[in-house]
Each structure stands twice: as C-alpha cells, then as structure tokens.
Structure 1
Amino acid sequence: MDQDSDEFEHSGESGREEEEEEEEGGEGEGEEGLCSPSLRNNVSAPSNHQDSGCTRQSSSKKMKRKLDHGPEVRSFPSGKKPCKGSEYSSPTGIVPCPATPTTFGHIRTANGQGQQRRRITSIQPPTGLQEWLRTFQSWTGPEKLLALDELIDSCEPTQVKHMMQVIEPQFQRDFISLLPKELALYVLSFLEPKDLLQAAQTCRYWRILAEDNLLWREKCREEGIDEPLSLKKRKIVKPGFTHSPWKSAYIRQHRIDTNWRRGDLKSPKVLKGHDDHVITCLQFCGNRIVSGSDDNTLKVWSAITGKCLRTLVGHTGGVWSSQMRDNIIISGSTDRTLKVWNAETGECIHTLYGHTSTVRCMHLHEKRVVSGSRDATLRVWDIETGQCLHVLMGHVAAVRCVQYDGRRVVSGAYDFMVKVWDPETETCLHTLQGHTNRVYSLQFDGIHVVSGSLDTSIRVWDVETGNCIHTLTGHQSLTSGMELKDNILVSGNADSTVKIWDIKTGQCLQTLQGPHKHQSAVTCLQFNKNFVITSSDDGTVKLWDLKTGEFIRNLVTLESGGSGGVVWRIRASNVKLVCAVGSRNGTEETKLLVLDFDVDMK
C-alpha cells in the first residue's frame, strides 16, 4: 500500500512538473513538433548489437509471433517523463495528438491516417513485383499467412526489422483522440485515478482530458470527498493552462489517507474543560466540535485552534444526547427537556418541554428532530418554532435509540421491540419482533432497518414489509454501536470484537480481531471507504483496513489504558479525528484529543 501511495504521489508530482516546464518553454512548441513523422515512426526496434548477433531464424520467429498474436495490449506508461515537444519519445508508440483537434480529418492526419507512409524510392521496383502482388491478393487468408511465413523465413534480420517498423505503428494509433470529447471522457472515467495521472503524461490532448474537473469530481464523489480545496489553497496557474480543483482535492486526500496509515500527523491538540465528569455525547462538523457532559453543560470548541469558544449553560441535569447541523445544536438532558442553541452566540433559542423523563436519544433531519425518552414515548419537534408536532406512543419501556429520514421514524427500546412509525399520522406501521432482550442500537438507510440488542444478535429488517431478512450472529455480548453505508454494516460489541457484514447476503465479511484486537468493550466506531476506526474501554483507538480487516495501527493509546482510562466517543472526518477520553476512577483526566492528518511530510 505504501508503495502504491508513493507511485500515486510521484505521478501527481510529474504532472505538476510538466505544467511548470510547459509554462516556461511551451510557447515555442507547435503541432509539428508534437506530431512530426519522426515521432510517428518512433517505435521499439532491436539495437545494433542485436542485429549483428541474432540469426535469421530468431528474428523470423519474433515476427511470426507478432503476426500470430496480433497487436500487443498496451497500458499507460509508468514512471515516464512528461512530453517536452520535439524531444518527446513516445514510450508506447502512441502518436501524440494536437493540443486542440477540431475535425476528424485533422485527428486522422495527426495519427498518421489519411497519409501515405514513406516508401523506399532509392531503387527501382524489381521486375514482376506487380504480378506477384496480384497473385498474392488472389490467395485466401490462410494461403496469404503461409506465404508471409515463407517470406519472413527468407529475409535477413535488417529486412525483418524494416517490417516491424512498418507494421507496429498500425496497431498503436491513438483511438481516444478519434472520439468526441464527451465520449473520450466517458472512456477515461473507467480508469483508476493513478492511471488517469499517468494518462495525462501521454500527450497534450490526453492531459486536457485527464485534467477535466467533472471527471475528477466523480472520482472524489466515489471516495466521499465532499468539496474541492478552498480558493485560498488552490495553486495559481498561468493563463492558458487548465487546472482541476477536484483533482487537487483528490490528490490531497490520497496524501492524507497515506498519513492515516503511516501515523504522520500534526501535534495532537488537547482540549480540557469538563473537569472529571464523563463526556456523554460528541459532535464534530466542519471546524466545530461540541461535547456534552453529565456536568449539565455543553462546550463548543474550535477544531483548528483547540480553544473553547463558549459553554452552553441552562440544563439542570446531565446532557445525554445531542445533534448538530450548521449553526444549530440540540441537546437532551436528564432534566426531561431538549434545548435548541445557536452555536455562534451560545444563545438558547428554544427549550422543548413535553417528555416526563430523561431524553436519551434524538435524530435531526432538516428542520425537525425526533427525541426518544425513558418515558417510552417519542416526540417530533420543529426546531425553528420549538413546537411539538407529533407524539408517538406504543413502546412500554424506555426508548434507547431512534433514526429518522424525514419520512419514517424507527425506534428501539428496552421492551425488546423495534417500531416503524409514520410521524405525520402518529401511527405505528410495523412492530419488529424477534429480539429477546433490550435494543440498544439502530441503523436505517430508508430501505433496511438494522437493530442491535443485548441478546447478542443483530437483525436486518425490510422497512416496507416489516419482515426480518437476516439474523446476524457471531457476537457474544451487547452490540453497543453500528454504522451502515451502502449495504455494508460495521458493528462493535462489548465482547471486544468488531465485525463487518454485507446486509444483502447476511454474510460476515471480516472480524477485526487477532493479536492487536481490543482488550475490552468497544465503545464507538466509524468507517469510510478505506478505514474502520474503533475505540474501547481499554484506552485505545485503532485503525483497520475495511476491505481486508487487517489491523493498521493504534491511533491513540492512553497511558492509563487497562487501569481505568477509557475512550468514550470518537468522531472523524476525512482529515481529523476527535476523541473524548477520561476515566471512571480518576486515573485519566477528562479531555478531548484532536488529531489532524492534513500534513505534508516532504
């Protein structure tokens, strides 16, 4: 993996070097320098000492193999220098094309099509040549191949070499440049990003295609990269040269992913503020971190400076749940209320009354939040007006977890039940029965409901029918946390293991264990396309490879781990990791750790 990373970074650097070199000296280059006959004839050929040392038979066999097997399947050059006008030597034999081809006739000319190849004119054609050619044309395909075999066997090595120089370019034309730009971009979209970087070094027109911003935006979308670099971080490019912010964002994120694997990061920031209390909930969005504690407060922190920006005071009981979006923070407390806060000013906008016991869970979607309470009810609130819109009643024990997608509410409770609700009509559409103990965790993607229970099982349900599709077994204790993305489920358990599942098949793809596994209950987890991050009561945060299940490294190791030090919560972006740590016996000070992997180690 590290070797691939180095190659990717090297490819990106080569592209930047090419851009800089062309900025300095590219004005004097014309199409003739890129597409001259000397370049079109630049193909692999035996060296002089090979000519003198090879027998006629070996050269003939080499040519015969080429005729038997057809053109070689070529890939983009690896590690080749960028093209530099007339000095460029095509590493694959693909003919460089004009910078801005406008017609197919122009493109065919650039590729050596539509032109007669250079012929030997220094000697007179032998007598009977035309008659021999007419006879050759009259033969069948197999007869022609047999004749060519015999002809090659009778040739000198220099004559075979001449044949190769004539034949090879016919199989090495630049088909991409023959296509309309939209179709060419569609073809290139199937390449891996590393191959796109190499393709950009083939010729100018390929570089124009491979720099396309929309092409790289799609690559970023596949990797979960939300936005390109901010304007202040973008490289200034001279007029006349293309620049793709999305490509820059992709290369930057690849470097950051490599830093996660290698452990290269800035000095961790330590954020202290909740004294020796437990951090019960944690949110991280953009450059803002919000921590809630059983000390009745929430604190808003800068993820950049590590400073506490403000403390949200108003609850009269411990804060046990929170949500955040943009400048809005919502908190739920043992004082039976929810509060809506302005994150910029610290002002409490609304206090939401209605629950008769602790607000244990909530889920925010756009302008509405659904709260679940130990009073066995759920409430739907409008966070702009503070009004309670709906009350959902049906559970007979505390509601422990809730999910809301704007259309359906899904809740899990200590009554062993999972319920699917239509919040507008306040009706329970399905009661999902099957668990034999308390339900502690839920995931909902609009199609599937996934529930984790103290009965050690995980169940996958169809939200429309209410049917149980799969029962996932293998954990030995409480499933304390889960995350679901694109039919991949990652579950963390009190038995110290983490499992990766395919919910479509019900198959366990990986179990994250082995000599580096957690030594105590898993407290929190998060994953993306490449990594799984897990935290535990053993005082560590671990990084795993999502696809292979292999342990990569410890991201955090508390000195008090194993003797009381705990990592309670983690939240991560593509760039940063935020950990809420402390202890229940005073061995570890309560604090937040912020790890930033956006660092260039070169």
Structure 2
Amino acid sequence: MKVKEKQDDMEDGQPPSIHGFLSRHIPPQVSTTRKLCYRHRPDLIKKRMPDSFDFNLVQKQMEELGTNDRAAITHIWSLFSAAPADQRMLILKGLLSTCCMPQLSFLHDEIKPLLRIDFVSILPQEISLQIFSYMDAKSLCNAAQVSRSWSFLADDDTLWHRMCEQHIDKKCTKCGWGLPLLDKKRQTTRKRSFNTTQTHLLPSASGSSTDSPLRTPCGPTTYHDNSSLPTNDDTASNNSKRIKVGSSSSFDSFDNDSSLKPPPTTTSGVILRRRPWKEVYSERLMVERNWRNNKYNIRILSGHTDGVMCVQFCDSSNVVMTGSYDKTIRIWNLETGALIRVLKGHTRCVRALQFDEAKLVTGAMDNTLKIWNWHTGECIRTLEGHTGGVLSVDFDCHLMASGSVDQTIRVWNFSKGECYTLTGHTEWVNSVRLCQQNRLVSGSDDSTVRLWDLQTRTCIREFKGHVGQVQIAIPSPKNFTHRLLDKEITIDTMQRRSNGFRPGCETASTTSNSSRKAVDDKSATATQAILSDAPLIMTGSLDNTVKQWDLNSGECVRTLFGHVEGVWGLAYDTLRVVSGSHDKTIRVWDMDSGRCMHALEGHNGPVTAIALGDTKIISASDDGDVRIWDYGVH
C-alpha cells in the first residue's frame, strides 16, 4: 500500500511523501534558470580551493543503499538543485524543522568550512592588492603559500617596494625595526659626475704660480661619516708619538690636472636585470638578523709595522685605505683583503685621510697635507701651512678643512683659491667635519666641540659637557632622521604601539625580549614616537663616553656609557652607532634607544678608528691590524 502511494505521488509529478509539510510546498514543475553563486561559477571553480566535503564517502554510502532509497535520495537532490533560490530556502527551513540534535550538530560541523570564501580571487586585482598592502612581511610570505592566485598577488613588486621604503635605511614607525641600506643603491648614488669646471690654484706662500687656472676634478666625498679621525692618549707611551713639531708655512701648487682624473671607464649596452623587491627585502632582512644576532665573519688586514690611526673604505670602489704611524698609507682590496698599493711620502706618522673617486687627501704629523692620485700612487700636491702636525681632514667639492696640533683649523677653498684660519680652540684640534649650511664642526683636546660659520668665519656655538679630550665629532648628514629629540617612552610602550608588527618574524621578538631583560628599566628608554630631521652631533671623548647633541640648541640629548677607557673612534648611521675605545673593544649601540647591543673583542691594542657600512664594521688598532667585521650574506 505504501509503495503504491509512493508511485502515485511520483506519477502526479510530486516527490515522495517524506514529510507532509514538505509535500504540500514542492511545486509540480521547477525552473532551472537561476544565477550561479560563488561555489558554482565555472570561472571560479578552478581558482578557489577545493571543498572539504568528501564526495567519495557520500558515493560509497549511496552504493550501500537499496535501489529505491537511492533513487529517492537522488530525486530529492535533483529537485533541490533545480529549485529557485526562494524555494530552496523553504525546503531548508522545512528540513531543519524535522532535524534532531545529532543532525543539527552534523550540519554545524559540515557547514563551517563550506562558508569560507576566497574573496581575494573574486575581487578586482586593485582591491586585493590594497588589502595585501596592510600586511607585514611575514603575513605576505604566508599568504603567498595559500594558492597560486594569492602567491601572484603577495609577490607583487609594488607591495615589496613599499615594504622596502618602509624599512630600509630607517626604522619603521609601526614595528620599530629597520633594515640596512641597499649596497647597490648606495653605489648608484655615489656614481656622480666629476666637477670639471675651471678653478683657481690655491695661493702659494712663495708667490710662484699663483694665478694660473686649473681644472680640478673634485669629486664628492664617498663616506663623510666613515673617515677616521686622529686620536691621542695621556699615557707616556703615546705622548712620545705626539711630539709637537714646527714647520714652514708654505705650500705648492698642483703639478697637473690630468693626474687627478680617475681611470677611464667603458660603458656597455648590457641591460642589467632588475632584482625583485621581495628578493631585495629578503637579503636585507638576513643582513639585519646578522646584526641583531651579532653573526659576522672576520678578516684581518696585516701589513703595517706600527699602529694604524685612520681608516676609510668604499664599497663601490672596493677599496680600504689606512694610515699608520709607520708613515705609510696602504690601499687594500675590500673583497679579498689583498694589498693593492703602498703610498710613501710623509716623514712622520699619518694621522688622517679621506678619499673619493679621484683623489686621496692625507694629513700627517710632519705638518703637511698631501693630495694623491690613489689610482696611480702619485703625490699630486703637498700643502703646507700648519705649524704643527695635522690631526684631521675633511673635504667636499669646494672646501677642505684640516685640524692641527697648532690649535687652529685651516679651511682651503678650491673654488676661490684661498686659505684662511679659524682660531678659538686652546688645545689640539683632533676632529674637523664640514656639515650642511656652510658650517664646520670641530672637536679638541680642550674638551669642547665648536660649531663654526664658514661665511662669517666665526664660532657660533660651543658644546660643553665632556670632561675629557674630545677625539671625534661627527655632524649628521643632510636629511638624516632620528627620534632622539622626542619625549622618552619605555621599550614596553614601544612594543605596544607596534601591535606585534615585525618584519623579522620570531627572531626580532626573541631578540627584543632578551634585550629588555638585560638592561635596567631606567636605562631601557627610547625616543621612538616621532621622526625628526633636526641636525645632530655625535662625539667621542677620553672621558669614556659618547654624547649625542642637538646642533641647533647645543643641548646634550643623550650620553652613552659602557666603555671603561677613552673613546677614540666613532661612526654611525640611521640604525646604529659604533664606537672604538682604548679598552680594546668595539661597541655597537642602537641609534634610537641608546642601548649597547654588542661588544666586539679581538684587537690586542686600543681601537683607534672606526668605519661603518651597511654590512660591515672596519676597525683600526694600535696593534697594527685592521679588522673587517662582515655581517653580510655569504
């Protein structure tokens, strides 16, 4: 009887009477015309991830059923599939009203994964990229592993270019981490054209050859903040090296202009492949992790027979230059460490040097400065004028400044062909640096730092605070940004502001936590809120401290304590400060927080000079060795 009723229902065009409520609402004829949804659009089926629904299991269970039951279930599915959307809702409501708790629990577990929608694949690409732009580096890498479509978007060059802009050569305001500057980018910046405009000879005291013009290719300085500065000490052993000597005050003219030109270069038509920004970011992140974990390779340059007092290097030229008490300047290959050339000419120890693409300028205790063509080793000119040994030198395209044992600063103007003297210090002038707005910063054994206006040739500000001889004073370059002048906030507050956004994944978090535990709460303060481009001066002194000054106000904004003897060498960039001391150690400090991150040991004598790059520290020592601490990716 039941079979007959079922057949009658089928003949009448109605489905089997599963439930009286449902049988009254299923229409005799259903339409198949409906709009396809996200799960059934043919153009999206291949793009989206497969459902977690196991159709093989359903098929197996169907095969275990009888023929009539299988046909009935198939018919129900067919009716539901062909029903319009509003009728589908009615069917589902009816089915839910008949479900028991086990069935409802089953629906809850099965529906949840089916509701996941790959919205990234169906949205316009511009909107998807905008969504991805809010992700950090770790999230983008995770998104790239979801599917091919996600990988295509997560690896977009625009996103990673923005990520590089946010982190490279600066600290991100969201996460507080920064990555080293690009080596290739910096090299490109350094490749500037030489100034070949006609200039006048510097006047000679003897009056010979003073009016003949000269075309002087005066290229820009490659490393303003990496050239080392002369040092001194109060011990008897070092006083013997600082004997004050006198000399005449005359200097000669350049012999010829062609000898200062760099070796000829050729250009090829080869188009270099532009590296993806994700690859660039990845490389810089590995370098930054090496800095954080103090993971480096070390090479030693040996050859000087006495203490090395100054060092400078250039990545683009692949050279390191050092000056020593053995009266020589040595030029080394930066990559291999091989000695390229030895320059001889000074009669006393070389205390200062600086070079660019075309020339090298050295200062020595023989009271002279020498200008060399370092490509050929030829001494182009000897400048005399100081009545004491030359302790420091700095130059740009138009000016050169030198500090001396005679307590004066001489400024040599290449454009105007003149030389004048700045007086005011009462002891040896250990450091001179040209800075922006036609100014000069000097540090002296009289424990003061002075700021000079080169237009009026007067001292416009004096910085007092050190209680020992100032060995080095370095002004910040143009557009240098920092957070030293903002109000202090704690490291914990910094981390709360970051909201866990880290480019360095777990390594950054682990390092940060261990660093916070290693310092006292009072010293663990940082100025991380607002970036400032207010000019700074960084100084190192024999009072064992490094001080950071506000150049405009003259106020000391921070003092770095850690060395147990005098600081002789100093260098810094936007991310870190590196100092070398008479205690034979090198300390690496965080630029923003002022925390000492690492202490490097290895030299057998006082560390006299420091040069800092994106991936390396180069230190010179009184033990005669030069050490390269390389944090790069190998």
- TM-score for the superposition, normalised by structure 1: 0.57
For residues 569 and 433 of structure 1, the distance between their equivalents in structure 2, rounded to whole angstroms, comes to 23
Alpha-carbon separation, structure 1, partners of 2:612 and 2:591: 24
Which aligned pairs between 1:169-318 and structure 2 lie closer than 5 A?
169=117, 172-174=118-120, 178=124, 180=126, 188=132, 191-201=135-145, 202-204=147-149, 206-207=151-152, 210-212=155-157, 214-215=161-162, 218=165, 220-221=168-169, 222-227=179-184, 244-254=275-285, 271-274=301-304, 276-286=305-315, 287-318=318-349
| Structure 2 match to 1:462 | 550
Partner of 2:382: 351
Counterpart-to-counterpart distance in 1, 2:632 and 2:42: 39
User: What do the CA deviations read for 1:351-380 (whole angstroms, capped 9, x no partner)?
Assistant: 222221111122334443322111111122
CA shift digits 1:567-593 (9 cap, x unpaired)? 65554544556554673xxxxxx4545
Structure-2 change in CA distance of 1:148 and 1:496 (3 Å)? farther
The CA distance in 2 between the partners of 1:481 and 1:338, in whole Å, is: 21
**Any conservation in 2 of the 1:270–1:594 contact (CA below 8 Å)?**
yes
Counterpart position of 2:424 = 394
Alpha-carbon RMSD across the aligned residues, in angstroms, is 4.9
What do residues 437-492 of structure 1 show as CA deviations (whole Å, max 9, x unaligned)? Answer: 32223232262223333344544432223234455566554233333434864555
Report the Cα offset of residue 178 of structure 1: 2.9
- Where do residues 466-545 of structure 1 align in structure 2 (5 Å cutoff)? 466-470=554-558, 476-486=564-574, 489-494=577-582, 508-510=594-596, 512=598, 534-535=600-601, 539-540=602-603
Of the candidates 388, 402, 411, which is equivalent to residue 371 of structure 1? 402
Range that drifts further, 418-427 or 157-166: 157-166
CA contact (8 A) 1:253 1:574 kept: no
Residue matched to 2:447: 416
Q: CA deviation at 1:332?
A: 0.6
Equivalent residue number for residue 48 of structure 2: 40
Relative contact order: is structure 1 or structure 2 higher (C-alpha 8 Å, sep ≥ 6)?
2
* Deviations, residues 84-124 of structure 1 (Å, cap 9, x unaligned): xxxxxxxxxxxxxxxxxxxxxxxxxxxxxxxxxxxx96125
- What are the ranges of 5 or more consecutive residues in structure 2 without an aligned counterpart? 1-39, 61-75, 170-178, 189-266, 478-534
SS of match in other structure, 1:223: coil
Kept in 1, the 8 Å contact 2:180–2:615? The answer is: no
Q: 1:337 to 1:174 in 2, by over 3 A?
A: same
Deviations 1:508-566 (A, max 9, x none): 53475xxxx6xxxxxxxxxxxxxxxx45xxx44xxxxxxxxxxxxxxxxxxxx5xxx66
Identity across the alignment (%): 28
Separation (CA, whole Å) in 2 of partners of 1:352 and 1:511: 42
Kindly provide the amino acid, as one letter, of the partner of residue 391 in structure 1: T
- 2:67 maps to none
Give the Å deviation of 1:319: 0.6
One-letter amino acid of the counterpart of residue 178, structure 1: P
Distance 2:371 2:550 in 1: 33
Contact 1:450 1:461 survives alignment (8 Å): yes
Q: Give, in whole Å, the separation in 2 of the partners of 1:348 and 1:452.
A: 32
What is aligned with 1:98?
none
Q: 1:563-602 counterparts in 2 under 5 A?
A: 569=609, 571=611, 573-575=613-615, 578=618, 580=620, 583=623, 590-592=624-626
Q: 2:112 aligns with which of 164, 177, 195?
A: 164
Seen in structure 2, the aligned counterparts of structure 1 residues 272 and 488 have a Cα distance that, compared at 3 Å, is closer
Q: Is the 8 A contact 1:401 1:441 kept in 2?
A: yes
Tell me whether 286-295 or 120-129 shows the greater mean CA deviation: 120-129
Runs of 5+ in structure 1 lacking a partner?
Answer: 1-31, 53-119, 137-143, 238-242, 518-533, 541-560, 584-589
Residues 390 and 195 of structure 1: CA distance in aligned 2, closer, same or farther (over 3 Å): farther
Distance in 2 of aligned mates of 1:427 and 1:491: 30
Summarize the alignment of residues 546-565 of structure 1 with structure 2, pairs less than 5 Å apart. Answer: 561=604
Question: Which one has a bigger Cα radius of gyration?
Answer: 2
C-alpha separation in 1, matches of 2:561 and 2:302: 40
1:133-173 CA deviation, whole Å, 9 max, x = no partner? 69x9xxxxxxx9xx99998957455544553355222xx41
Alignment-mate amino acid for residue 111 of structure 2:
M
Q: Secondary structure at the match of 1:395?
A: coil
TM-aligned CA deviation for residue 420 of structure 1: 0.9
Q: How far did 1:428 drift?
A: 0.9
Deviation per residue, 1:188-224 (Å, 9 max, x gap): 4554445444444443475266241744753555431
